[in-house]
Structure 1
Amino acid sequence: MNLHALRLFHVIASTGSVTRASETLNISQPAITAQIKKFEKELSFALFKPQGRGIALTDAGEELALLAKRLFAVEQQIEQFTQDYVNGTNGSIRLAATYLPAHFLIPTWIAKFKQQYEQVEMVITTTNSSDALKQLLNVDVDMAIYGGITEAYPDTIRTEELFQDELWFVVAPHHPYANQQISLSEMMKEPFVMREEGSSTRERLLSLCRTYNTPGPTISLQFNGLHEAIQAVIAGYGANFVSSLVVREYVERGELCRVYVEGILLKNSIAICTRKNEPLSASAANLIQMIRQNPYTM
């Protein structure tokens, strides 16, 4: 079927005359008339009939006009979708995040992003650092938001550090080490409440002990989530080594206290990881740009 001729017919049917269609399309009336006659011959039935000084649709023309209206409405929807997708106002983003940014940064980032890009679908997976990187390498996600030690990533991964936060040792307020300065070896004698293996902060603590040739901590309680680990320490059991983003408010309210370990001042890196040499969708690029403009939301 000649879609150009169908479009001419659609405009004539919509405007009510060849004259108005000619003005709308900026095509001469004789050219439109010739195309319509050729189209009618192709279809083997008439689309228009004389009516007074003008024309009217035949019964077949009425039916075809309804179908053409639906067709070109869908065409407009496709054009709008394409434009929205290119501009990043439509589409989807798959994101893996480690627990730190997932719980303390991403909710605010996503809320701000969705206010501007409501139609973009978001799929967010919260996991540990090793699995987040694995998902990115396996093309299961478009990007990973990573909170942990700066690492040597594979050559196929691009990283962009957003900011750094401190890592703190914390205990309950009644603990004898609360607000005290002690040695690392003394600190490691305390039972620790930590996240599961694969947690970047847990690995950072073990690495710290190896660096200073100090026996590693006894991890007496292990949780899959940050909140549970923190609540156990608040309740009075053991110590934790954790990002200041996680516990700053608890410390300010007096529910937790810092322990100042001599000679230890470590920082955590909050970074965006993407795959090199692979273009991001416009919606994903818009999210990263928004995060760059508002990296620290606490």
Structure 2
Amino acid sequence: MNLHALRLFHVIATTGSVTRASELLTISQPAITAQIKKFEKELSIPLLKPQGRGITLTEAGAEIALLAKRLFAVEQQIEQYAHHYRTGTHGSIRLAATYLPSHFLLPTWLAKFKQQFEQVDMMITTTNSSDALKQLLNVDVDIAIYGGIPENYPDTIQTEELFQDELWFVVAPGHRFANQHVSLEEMVKEPFVMREEGSSTRERLLSLCRTYSTSTPSISLQFNGLYEAIMAVIAGYGANFVSSLVVREYVERGELCRVYVDGIHLTNTIAICTRKNEPLSASTTNFIAMIRQNPVS
């Protein structure tokens, strides 16, 4: 089927006039008439008939005009969708985030983003550090928001640092180390309440002990969530090694106290991770741009 001729017929049917169609399409009337006659011959159906000094649709022409109207409406929808997808106003983003940014940064980021790009679908997975990067490498997600020490994937992962977050040792206010300066060797003799294996902060604590050749701390309680681990320490058991973003408000309210370990000052990297040399969708690019403008909630 000659879609160009169908489009000419659609404009004639919509305007009710070959003359008006000629003006809108900037095509001469004889050229349009010749195309329509050729199209009628192709279909073996008369589409137009004279009426007074003008033309009108035949019965078959009216039915085909209705179908053409639907077809070109769908064409317009496709063009609109493509435009929206290119500009990032529609689409989807698959995101993996480690617990720290997921709980303390993403809620604000997502709220700001959805206010501007309501039609973009967001699929978020909260997981530990190693699994977040694994999902990115396996193309299960488009972007990973990482809190920790970025693992070394020089050929596959692109990392953009947003900011550095301090790591603190914390205990309950009644603990003998509360607000005190102690050595690392003293600190690691305390029972620790930590997240599960695979947590970057837990791995940082163990790595710290290896670096300074101290004994490995006893992780006496293990939780899958940050909140549960913090609540256990607030309740009076053990110590935690944790992001300042997580516990700063608890410390300010006096529910937790810092322990200042001599010579130790560690930070987490909060970073955006993407796959190297792979183009991002417009919606993902817009989301990353929004994060850059609002790195800390």
TM-score by length of 2: 0.98
CA distance in 2, matches of 1:151, 1:3: 54
**Post-superposition shift, 1:88?**
1.2
**Post-superposition shift, 1:159?**
0.7
Find the counterpart in structure 2 of residue 226 from structure 1. Answer: 226
CA distance in 2, matches of 1:197, 1:151: 16
CA distance in 1, matches of 2:165, 2:145: 15
CA distance in 2, matches of 1:11, 1:172: 77
CA distance in 1, matches of 2:107, 2:12: 52
Alignment of 1:47-196 (within 5 A): 47-196=47-196
Find the counterpart in structure 2 of residue 34 from structure 1. Answer: 34
Find the counterpart in structure 2 of residue 271 from structure 1. Answer: 271
Segment of structure 1 superposing worse, 141-150 or 66-75: 141-150
**Structure 2: gaps (5+ residues):** none
SS of the residue corresponding to residue 141 of structure 1 reads coil
SS of the residue corresponding to residue 169 of structure 1 reads strand
Segment of structure 1 superposing worse, 282-291 or 158-167: 282-291
- The number of residue pairs the alignment matches comes to 297
**Post-superposition shift, 1:64?**
0.7
CA distance in 1, matches of 2:174, 2:165: 26
Q: CA RMSD in A?
A: 1.0
Deviations 1:144-166 (A, max 9, x none): 11000244334211111100010
**Post-superposition shift, 1:20?**
1.1
CA distance in 2, matches of 1:27, 1:116: 42
Segment of structure 1 superposing worse, 142-151 or 158-167: 142-151
Find the counterpart in structure 1 of residue 204 from structure 2. Answer: 204
CA distance in 2, matches of 1:121, 1:25: 39
**Post-superposition shift, 1:253?**
1.2
Deviations 1:233-257 (A, max 9, x none): 1111111100000011111111111
- Paired residue type of 2:134: K
- Paired residue type of 1:262: D
**Post-superposition shift, 1:296?**
1.1
CA distance in 2, matches of 1:228, 1:8: 68
**Post-superposition shift, 1:89?**
1.2
CA distance in 1, matches of 2:20, 2:229: 73
CA distance in 2, matches of 1:43, 1:150: 64
Deviations 1:115-154 (A, max 9, x none): 1111111111111111111111111111111000244334
CA distance in 2, matches of 1:57, 1:47: 6
Change (3 A) 1:209 1:268: same
Q: Provide the identity percentage.
A: 83
- Paired residue type of 2:162: L
SS of the residue corresponding to residue 260 of structure 2 reads strand
Find the counterpart in structure 2 of residue 294 from structure 1. Answer: 294
Segment of structure 1 superposing worse, 137-146 or 150-159: 150-159
- Paired residue type of 2:97: A
SS of the residue corresponding to residue 92 of structure 1 reads strand
